[in-house]
Amino acid sequence: MSTPELFVGVTSWNSELFLPHCLEALQATTRGTPTRLCVLDNGSTDRSVAIARDRGAEVVVRRCSQPDALNTLLRRSRSPFTLLIHADVILLDPHWFPLCRSRLTDGVALVSPQDIGCGPLTRPFGAGMPESSFLLMHTERFRRCLRLHWRRRGRWPRPHYAIDFHGPHITHHLPDELRRQRLSWVPMEVYVSNRASAPLFTPSSPPTVWSDELSYLRYGLGNFYGLDGTITHYHNWYDRITAREKTETASTPGRKDFPVDFIRSYTHRLLEDYSAGRLDLPTDLSTTRTPRAL
């Protein structure tokens, strides 16, 4: 059996709300491309594992950190190209793979969005850094960043090779790691969802983190991403929060966070629009965003 051109690894934990859409969109947009699909599930207590198996994915159930999950999936890839994504990513354009692959020219090992979003410019520290929800790699080149690490198992530490995903925000040190190997990466464009003419959500009490602009964004903190003016995919952010049975409208005391009901409302609006075939794609594809913190 020939090696598939593309290996896709999906990290999942209690992701039953988004995982069916993630996997079905992936399969629909890679028709004609030999693809191996693997879901690494971090011990979900919902139907995530059954959903993945029902859709023909290989499933690995392993309680581990996100850095370890990414390394585990990368080790399983035997394909020339590897995509690692979160379960709340929905691929939208049938040509996303050839478009992104075309940017993996000599010396380029990674295509990924800049980590500047949620909605209205809230992550200035992510400018110029890759975002872990979508990492398309030239597998052989990216693996040049593997380093020897020591991990204690039992009485003695044991050596293993891994990508250091343990840095700030998992991926923010990757550009330096790539430069050490004389490699580079291509940042994808980040698009905020369209603005409504009237507020779509009003907090019932003052949140610890808020901007009035959030009330008007159709898909809230969710972002769209693309290259060369083509929207390739959507990332919801905070998808598992919507699965909580709690009905709290304020964040946990002492935490800087957005209202749970706000996250729940835009998540369900997005899924309703997507399932009905009326997804409201961004009309402003300018790339002049200057990220700033709330």
To the nearest whole number, what is the mean pLDDT of the chain? 90
- Specify whether the CB–CB gap between 49 and 77 falls below 8 A: no
The model carries a pTM of 0.92
d(CA 130, CA 110): 9
pLDDT at 277 over 60: yes
- pLDDT band of residue 159 (cuts 50, 70, 90) is confident
What structural domains does the chain harbor? 6-275 (3.90.550)
Structure tokens at 224: 């769209």
| pLDDT one-digit tens code per residue, 245-267 | 443 444 444 445 678 889 999 99
Residue 89 has which token pair?
């990513």
pLDDT at 246: 41
Residue 61: which H helix or E strand, with range?
strand 58-61
What percent of the chain is predicted at pLDDT more than 70?
90
Q: Which two tokens stand for residue 204?
A: 């019932």
Confidence band for 241, pLDDT divided at 50, 70 and 90: low
pLDDT above 80 (res 1):
no
Mean pLDDT score, 272-283: 97
Q: Find the mean pLDDT for residues 199-208.
A: 89
The C-alpha atoms of residue 291 and residue 124 are separated, in whole angstroms, by 5
pLDDT at position 91: 98
